[in-house]
Structure 1
Amino acid sequence: MSIFNKVFASIGIGSAQVDTRLESDTVVPGEEVRGIVHVKGGRTEQKVDEIYLSLHTTYIKESDDKKYTATATIDRFRLNDPFTIQPSETKEIPFSFILPIDVPVSIGRTKIWVATGLDIKNAVDPSDKDSLKVLPNSLMDSIFSAAEDLGFRLRNADCEQAPHGLRRNYPFVQEFEFVPISGSFRGKLDELEMVFFPVSENEVEIFMQVDRKARGLGGFLAEAFEMDESNVVLTVTRNDVPNLSQKLHAAISRYC
């Protein structure tokens, strides 16, 4: 094989190519993601040490009073043992993995994607990127519906750097920001923020921040010193779904 082909392959020209094809790009946390990785050989024989899939999202990070976007790896999966791909040869590697139950959902500006990489020694590693649309599971969907029943509208959703007290598996949390547009909390609250920490598919811990509306001089002073915010931790299971609106109302009402 021409030495020039080997040199070109080492810098990514004429080297192996990778293409991942997902069976479905719409998934729910806890579900199985399936697909096939297609590998096509380049101009020269190459040894592939590893094929890996990694799950990613972005989040807002703050440093020196400046905000910027960072990328976080949610999980990583190794697919194969080392193999050699011949020039123009095609290989198909099927895969499946379980989407973590605490993966962010595709709401607001939150993006989730699967990156595929080939680890080829002494060469530029080929890669591929495929977007996933992650939908809320039925329990989370019920919580959103309960908030809507109470007159709240989802205003914003984003992944942000997690304070140390809220940091779990990742350096970020996905925050959902609601505003009361009707119902008993309109005029009493400025906003309601929620962060979900799934325990299982049937149970979730909700961290809520209730931001009371400033009323009078005392209210404005409290708002100035951020004393108008109360933190609430609420555990919700599937058994709560029939009375979820009432449970949510009771938890928020204690701080209004």
Structure 2
Amino acid sequence: MQLEGIISTGEAMFKKILASVGIGAAKVDTILETEHLYPGQKFQAQIIVEGGDVEQQVSGLELALMTRVKVESDDGEYFTNHVLDKWRISEQFVISPGEKKVIPFEARLHSETPITELNAGYNHSFVWVETGLDIDLAIDPNDKDTLHIYPNEAVKACMQAMDKLGFSLVKADVEKGYLRASSFQSTSGCYQELEYRPNSRSLFGIQEIELSFVPEAHKTHVLIELDRAFRGDGYVDLTIEHDHVNVSQLCDQLERLFN
């Protein structure tokens, strides 16, 4: 019996050692009510924590809204993960072997969450929710859930206006940094650029147009970078009120800005 006790204690210690490097440790899984969302939209989820082979102390539970950003440095360009928002949603608790805890969760996406559902030749826009357990003396298990982010009505109308004016969306990516204009500025630490090119020789002498959006509750700001053949780069901006979205009016506004 004494030998069995020693063996049992040894097995328990071995399992704790394995759990400390992630083997047989507790696991977390976030189940989203829907993965199809708009920037600024509320979302609901259930966070499921399942105990591993040994009892573990969980110091907390954290969710992060993530995207992939391009960084420009002296050594060139590279991509890295960027936190748009994060939420700590649980106090410390103990999870027993084989135990299952279900924690309801609700939050709102950052209003500047990049759009992923775009018909572009090159689309490097990705958004996901990452969930992690803060377990004492253990590698944090984590769970990643991809999100499909769609443009709001103002952004969609702006994109439709660009199509009508003879421009095609060729590239979309997310860059690290902030946007600033006279009447607005971004807050998320990154911004999305939608790169348009004319389908034929542009009447405006434009070689390329890049659009970036900064949505708010009732309006969406648009920063427009114009690359003109003979006048170089320049910036203009406009604001679209959400209760006055009109594609024809946007076409007229954009035409005036492009001249």
The residue type paired with residue 147 of structure 1 is M
Unpaired runs of 5+ residues, structure 2, are: 1-8
Q: Is the 8 A contact 2:69 2:190 kept in 1?
A: yes
Partners of 1:110 and 1:100 lie apart in 2 by 15
The residue type paired with residue 172 of structure 1 is C
Q: Is the 8 A contact 2:204 2:258 kept in 1?
A: no
Partners of 2:150 and 2:69 lie apart in 1 by 18
Partners of 2:94 and 2:52 lie apart in 1 by 12
- Identify the residue that residue 153 of structure 1 maps to in structure 2: 168
- Identify the residue that residue 251 of structure 1 maps to in structure 2: 257
| Secondary structure, aligned partner of 1:103 | coil
Q: Does 1:209 align with 2:225?
A: yes
How far 1:204 sits from its partner (Å)? 1.5
Partners of 1:50 and 1:101 lie apart in 2 by 26
Partners of 2:39 and 2:180 lie apart in 1 by 24
Q: Does 1:16 align with 2:26?
A: yes
Count of residue pairs the alignment pairs up: 239
- Identify the residue that residue 189 of structure 2 maps to in structure 1: 171
How far 1:235 sits from its partner (Å)? 1.6
Q: Does 1:141 align with 2:156?
A: yes
How far 1:143 sits from its partner (Å)? 0.9
The residue type paired with residue 232 of structure 1 is V
How far 1:240 sits from its partner (Å)? 4.1
After superposing the two structures, state which structure 1 stretch, 231-240 or 132-141, moved more.
Answer: 231-240
Unpaired runs of 5+ residues, structure 1, are: 214-218, 220-226
Q: TM-score, normalised by structure 2?
A: 0.86
Partners of 1:81 and 1:191 lie apart in 2 by 50
How far 1:65 sits from its partner (Å)? 3.8
Partners of 2:178 and 2:86 lie apart in 1 by 24
* Residue among 137, 140, 160 paired with 1:125: 140
How far 1:11 sits from its partner (Å)? 1.5
The residue type paired with residue 212 of structure 1 is R
The residue type paired with residue 108 of structure 2 is I
| Secondary structure, aligned partner of 1:179 | strand
Aligned-residue CA RMSD in angstroms? Answer: 1.9
Could you list the structure 1 runs, at least 4 aligned residues long, displaced by more than 4 angstroms after superposition: 163-167
1:170-249 equivalent positions in 2, closer than 5 A: 170-181=188-199, 185-186=202-203, 188-200=205-217, 202-213=218-229, 219=230, 227-242=231-246, 243-249=249-255
After superposing the two structures, state which structure 1 stretch, 241-250 or 115-124, moved more.
Answer: 241-250
